[in-house]
Each structure stands twice: as C-alpha cells, then as structure tokens.
C-alpha cells in the first residue's frame, strides 16, 4: 500500500471518530436545509475555498448550495496576495454585502487554522445575521497557535457546530527527507462535506422530498435547466 493511501484511510477513520457526537447534528442541519429549501452557503480562503467549491454546482451535488467565490480569496491572482488579504480585518463584510443570505440559511466556514481574520469575521457576521454556522477546521492546529486578529476568538470558538478535520499541524501526513508533506486538509474537508451531504439527502428523501441534485452535463438525456431556473435568483455565481 502507498504511504499516502494508508495515511488517507487512517485520516478518514479519525475524522469519523473525532466527530462522532457532532456529525448527527451537522447531518440534521443540512437535511433541514434541503427539506425547507434553504440555501447552504460556503466560505473559505486559499485552498480552503476548494472544500466549499466541492459542494457547488457539481454532478451528483445539491443545487441549493451557494459558494462565496471571489478572486481576492483564491490563489488565481497571486498566492501570496490572497494569503495576505485573508488576514485583513473588514474584508469579509465587503464580500458578505455582495450576497443575499437569509437568516434561515445554513452557513459553512472552512479554515484549517481558524486563526485568520476573514474566516473569523465571516463566521461572526453570519451568526449576527441569525444563521446557524458550521465550521470545518483543525482543532489541534487551531489550539496550538494564537489568533491573528487581536481580541477575537478563533473559528472553532465562534461557530455553533465544529467539525474537526483531524489534520495535524502543518497540514502534512507524511515525512519525506525530513520534510512534512502529503497535504491533508483538502481531502479531509471534501470527505466531510460529502459525508454530511449524502447522509442529509438520505434523511430528506425519507421525508418525501424530491432531491435538488444536478446531473452530469456530460451524460446525454439529462437537463439541469429546471434547477438553474429555480435557484438563479438566489445563488450569485449560478
């Protein structure tokens, strides 16, 4: 077995074990969003934005998902640039104001360290708006280092529900040549959101809900237009 394969399997098992008590609540929250047709919003900066993107407009994925997407929080216009911006207080409010978030919507904030300004303040804004806030973060790493926003709590201390991605500090699962490597936070986050989403869909379907799930655009005979029409006024990047 390859080392990364073995480490990944162990990571997934650790995630389920670490979150045994909170996963049922996370699943119930997402199931409720599906049943009530509320929007599930996701936010992350840097590589963490890919976890939210995992849920957004993809084959087999839920249509009632809105990802906060902006070049300032991605690496597409400069990796160092985005890394600096996520530490600046006040930027999250600028992004928030570009979206329509209803108080009954579910909000997911993804940040491996949970110590930078943007994820912290986005969680605070969502809570002030009345949203249930779910965080995906590394509890071990977050507890090890101080917040970069003076006078503020870290993400795991703010969110209503915290899912531990079980990623070790430094985001690596392997040591090769003395170097920490084998990044874990992206696959951990994607595993978590897909686990929650699929279990939530099972619960919603059991309540008689027709699931708002996208088909692959590369399979003939299927059309997503009905879902596009249904959500295009509520989801900015659709």
pTM of the full structure: 0.95
Residue 107 has a pLDDT of 98
pLDDT (tens digit, 9 = 90+) per residue, 135-161? 999 999 999 998 988 888 999 999 999
Given its phi and psi angles, is residue 104 left (phi above 0), alpha (psi -120 to 50 degrees) or beta? alpha
How far is it between the farthest Cα atoms of the chain?
55
Q: Is the C-alpha dihedral spanning 227, 233, 235, 238 positive or negative?
A: positive
Q: Can you list the domains of the chain with their CATH numbers? A: 3-208+222-231 (3.40.50.10490)
pLDDT, average across residues 28-47? 96
Question: Hey, what are 214's tokens?
Answer: 């996208």
SS3 content of the chain, % helix, strand, coil (to 5): 45, 15, 40
Q: Is residue 62 over pLDDT 80?
A: yes
- pLDDT > 70: percent of the chain: 100
Q: 171-188: per-residue pLDDT in tens? A: 999 999 999 999 999 999
**Mean local confidence (pLDDT), 73-89:** 83
The Cα 144–Cα 236 span in angstroms is: 36
Hey, CA dihedral for 215, 26, 130, 150, is it positive or negative?
A: negative
Give the model's pLDDT for residue 71. 84
Q: What are phi and psi of 229, to 5 degrees?
A: -65, -35
| pLDDT score of 231 more than 90 | yes
CA dist., res. 135 & res. 113, Å (int): 11
What mean pLDDT is predicted for residues 183-205?
98
Q: How far apart are CA 194 and CA 170, in angstroms?
A: 24
Hunting for tokens 């640039």 — which residue is that? 81
- Compute how many other C-beta atoms are within 10 angstroms of the C-beta atom of residue 186: 18
């Amino acid at each position: 077995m390859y080392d990364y394969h073995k480490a990944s399997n162990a990571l997934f098992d650790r995630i389920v074990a670490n979150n045994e008590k909170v996963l049922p609540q996370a699943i119930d929250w997402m199931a409720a969003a599906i049943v009530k047709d509320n929007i599930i919003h996701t936010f992350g900066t840097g590589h963490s934005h890919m976890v939210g993107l995992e849920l957004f407009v993809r084959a087999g994925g839920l249509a009632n998902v809105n990802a906060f997407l902006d070049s300032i929080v991605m690496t597409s216009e400069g990796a160092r640039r985005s890394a600096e911006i996520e530490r600046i207080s006040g930027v999250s409010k600028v992004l928030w104001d570009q979206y329509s978030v209803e108080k009954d919507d579910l909000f997911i904030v993804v940040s491996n360290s949970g110590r930078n300004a943007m994820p912290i303040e986005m969680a605070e804004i969502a809570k002030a708006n009345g949203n249930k806030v779910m965080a995906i973060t590394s509890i071990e790493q977050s507890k090890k280092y101080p917040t970069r926003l003076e006078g503020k709590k870290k993400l795991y201390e703010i969110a209503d529900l915290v899912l531990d991605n079980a990623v070790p500090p430094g985001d690596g699962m392997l040591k090769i040549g003395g170097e920490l490597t084998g990044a874990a936070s992206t696959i951990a986050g994607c595993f978590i959101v897909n686990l929650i989403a699929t279990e939530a869909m099972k619960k919603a379907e059991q309540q008689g809900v027709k699931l708002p799930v996208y088909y692959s655009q590369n399979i003939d005979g299927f059309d997503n237009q009905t879902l596009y029409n249904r959500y295009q006024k509520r989801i900015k990047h659709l």
